Amino acid sequence: MKRLVLCKNAPNVIVELVVLMDQVRRRKIRIIDNLYVMKLLKSGDLGRGEEVKIIRALCIDIKKKWAITFKSNSVILAAGGYSRVYTPSSSRIFENYGEGVALAYDVGADLIDMEIAYALNTVHT
């Protein structure tokens, strides 16, 4: 499975994705598509009294239309930005509303540089 995003304005994106996908293959990480993460669950949410860490992700399978949870020893949250909250926006209508930022905030992550929203330079007529 080869995944590349070609972006004329940001050629480094191609290199980063190639390296990332190479690591995914080397580590035999399974990719699961068509899931929407609703909530990250912390150990403290279960009332165990231990050090709080993210241990599960509660997701909705968009195709099968059911809830599913994933156990986790670690989480990399790469869920896009929030450029769609501004008008005009270079994002497609269904993406970048800040869901990843909300997930991080909900589990107590420190949010920094929130005034910097990435957007491609586009012309809207």
Percent of the chain with pLDDT over 70: 66
What mean pLDDT do residues 70-79 have? 81
Do 82 and 121 share a domain, yes or no? yes
Do 60 and 83 lie in one domain? The reply is: no
Strand order in the sheet with 66-71: 35-42, 54-61, 66-71
Q: What range does the domain containing 63 cover? A: 32-76
- For 83-119, the pLDDT digits (tens) are 777 777 777 776 777 888 888 888 888 888 777 666 5
- Determine if the peptide bond prior to 11 is cis (ω within 30°): no
Q: How many domains does the chain have?
A: 3
The CA distances from residue 90 to 34, 44, 74, 111, in Å, are: 22, 38, 31, 23
Claim to verify: residue 90 and residue 117 sit in the same structural domain: yes
- pLDDT grade for 2, boundaries at 50, 70 and 90: very low
Mean pLDDT of the region 7-27: 71
What percent of the chain clears pLDDT 90, i.e. is strictly above it? 18
Are residues 71 and 98 located together in one domain of the fold? no
